[in-house]
């Protein structure tokens, strides 16, 4: 089994939030896999066999699956004897899409200048050309004017902060796909940025610490950029 992931200058440190969802899902299922690191500009050609322009892509025997949600569903259906990723699959699917506009986009704008610093030099022109239209300004402008996007991100964390006051995981006693989808964003930020995006007293901070310890601490091994 192979999992294709996105890396920067350091090819040992993958940072895609979507790939992290699948790394955690594979650990949840207890499945072994080989990581295949790719730079941004390598993805199109390397993943043409899967008709995909983005990571993650999972190759399992004769099966090649792209998109983190589709991969999660594939793992659930292909390995039903392993621990289930879902308490409620439709609810997990809704959660999967809810994160995009409410959290992923404001967080991306907050850390985009930091991501630009850690990607490989061969990717910088491509990253600028494709990402600046999304943020509607230059990468440098986003780096200088991040207070609003960070405030939006923190404000949109409020439901999760309230939830984790009384619950350990979105899955209840144990984490499920929604936990991995949310957690992947924080690993993305940790691996690329030194910015503090969650206050220490926020219940989410305690949840992150719990997630860091899951499956031998695979997420906890990600070191924050200094």
Among 61, 59, 46, which Cα is nearest to 7's?
A: 46
DSSP structural state of residue 174: S
Do residue 67 and residue 120 come from a single domain? no
Q: Where are the alpha helices (DSSP H) in the chain?
A: 17-29, 43-46, 68-78, 89-99, 105-118, 124-135, 139-144, 147-156, 158-163, 177-192, 203-212
What pLDDT tens digit does each residue of the chain (226 aa) get? 999 999 999 999 999 999 999 999 999 999 999 999 999 999 999 999 999 999 999 999 999 999 999 999 999 999 999 999 999 999 999 999 999 999 999 999 999 999 999 999 999 999 999 999 999 999 999 999 999 999 999 999 999 999 999 999 999 999 999 999 999 999 999 999 999 999 999 999 999 999 999 999 999 999 988 7
Do residue 57 and residue 93 come from a single domain? no
Do residue 71 and residue 99 come from a single domain? no
- Report if residue 221 sits inside a domain: no
Contacts by residues 81-86 (CB-CB < 8 Å, ≥ 24 positions apart): 82/28, 82/29, 82/30, 82/31, 83/28, 83/29, 83/30, 84/176, 85/25, 85/28, 85/29, 85/176, 85/177, 85/180, 86/176, 86/177
Do residue 96 and residue 37 come from a single domain? no
- Domain finish residue from 78, 113, 130: 78
- Residue 22: give its domain's CATH number: 3.40.30.10
Do residue 112 and residue 151 come from a single domain? yes
Do residue 71 and residue 105 come from a single domain? no
Say what the pTM is: 0.98
Do residue 110 and residue 142 come from a single domain? yes
- Report if residue 98 sits inside a domain: yes
Do residue 56 and residue 132 come from a single domain? no
- Report if residue 222 sits inside a domain: no
Q: Taking the chain, what is the end-to-end CA distance rounded to the nearest angstrom?
A: 33
Our count of domains for the chain comes to: 2
- Report if residue 223 sits inside a domain: no
Which domain does 201 fall in, by range? 89-216
Cα–Cα distances in angstroms (integers) from residue 51 to residues 4, 6, 45, 151, in the given order: 13, 17, 10, 37
Do residue 58 and residue 103 come from a single domain? no
- Residue 119: give its domain's CATH number: 1.20.1050.10
- Domain finish residue from 47, 78, 109: 78
């Amino acid at each position: 089994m192979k999992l294709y992931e996105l890396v920067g200058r350091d090819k040992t440190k993958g940072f895609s939030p979507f790939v992290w969802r699948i790394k955690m899902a594979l650990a949840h299922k207890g499945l072994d896999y080989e990581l295949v690191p790719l730079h941004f500009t390598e993805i199109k050609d390397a993943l043409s066999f899967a008709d995909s322009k983005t990571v993650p892509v999972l190759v399992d025997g004769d099966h090649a699956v792209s998109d983190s949600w589709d991969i999660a569903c594939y793992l659930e259906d292909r390995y039903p004897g392993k621990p289930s990723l879902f308490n409620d699959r439709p609810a997990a699917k809704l959660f999967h899409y809810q994160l995009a506009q409410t959290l992923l986009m404001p967080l991306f704008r907050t850390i985009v200048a930091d991501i630009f610093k850690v990607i490989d030099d061969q990717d910088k022109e491509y990253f600028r050309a494709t990402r600046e239209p999304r943020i509607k300004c230059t990468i440098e402008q986003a780096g200088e004017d991040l207070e609003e996007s960070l405030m939006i991100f923190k404000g949109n964390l409020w439901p999760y902060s309230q939830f984790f006051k009384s619950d350990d995981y979105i899955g209840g006693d144990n984490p499920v796909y929604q936990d991995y989808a949310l957690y992947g964003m924080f690993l993305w930020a940790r691996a690329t940025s030194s910015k503090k995006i969650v206050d220490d007293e926020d219940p989410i901070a305690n949840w992150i610490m719990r997630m860091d310890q899951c499956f031998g601490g695979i997420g906890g091994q990600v070191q924050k950029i200094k």
